[in-house]
């Protein structure tokens, strides 16, 4: 499970706007904004979080840690 800070960090590391992430993930921009401004694990549909995580991972982001233990990201070349 990813947390809001990881979503923000990953999007920023890629140089994407919230609109770009929304487009790549197939979700609404308002959804991305809501998820990024929450704290901890976002209160969202699991499918929505999966779409966002998959879009970021396809762009080369690796999510590391767990929500309770050193959550973060690594940046790799896109798949």
- Burial grade of 18 (CB within 10 A; 0-12, 13-18, 19 or more): middle
Give the pLDDT of residue 78: 82
Backbone angles phi, psi at 56, to 5 degrees: -70, -40
Give the pLDDT of residue 79: 73
Give ∠ CA 11-56-79 in degrees, rounded to 5.
130
Give the pLDDT of residue 1: 86
d(CA 79, CA 67): 25
pLDDT mean by block of 10 residues, the chain; 79 residues: 96 98 98 95 94 98 95 92
Tokens, residue 27: 């979700």
Q: Mind listing the domains of the chain with CATH numbers?
A: 4-75 (1.10.260.40)
């Amino acid at each position: 499970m990813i947390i809001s800070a990881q979503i923000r960090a990953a999007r920023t590391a890629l140089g994407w706007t919230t609109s770009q992430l929304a487009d790549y993930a197939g979700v609404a921009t308002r959804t991305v904004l809501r998820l990024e401004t929450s704290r901890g694990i976002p209160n969202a549909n699991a499918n929505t979080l999966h779409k966002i995580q998959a879009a970021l991972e396809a762009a080369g982001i690796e999510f590391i840690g767990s929500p309770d233990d050193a959550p973060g990201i690594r940046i790799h070349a896109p798949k």
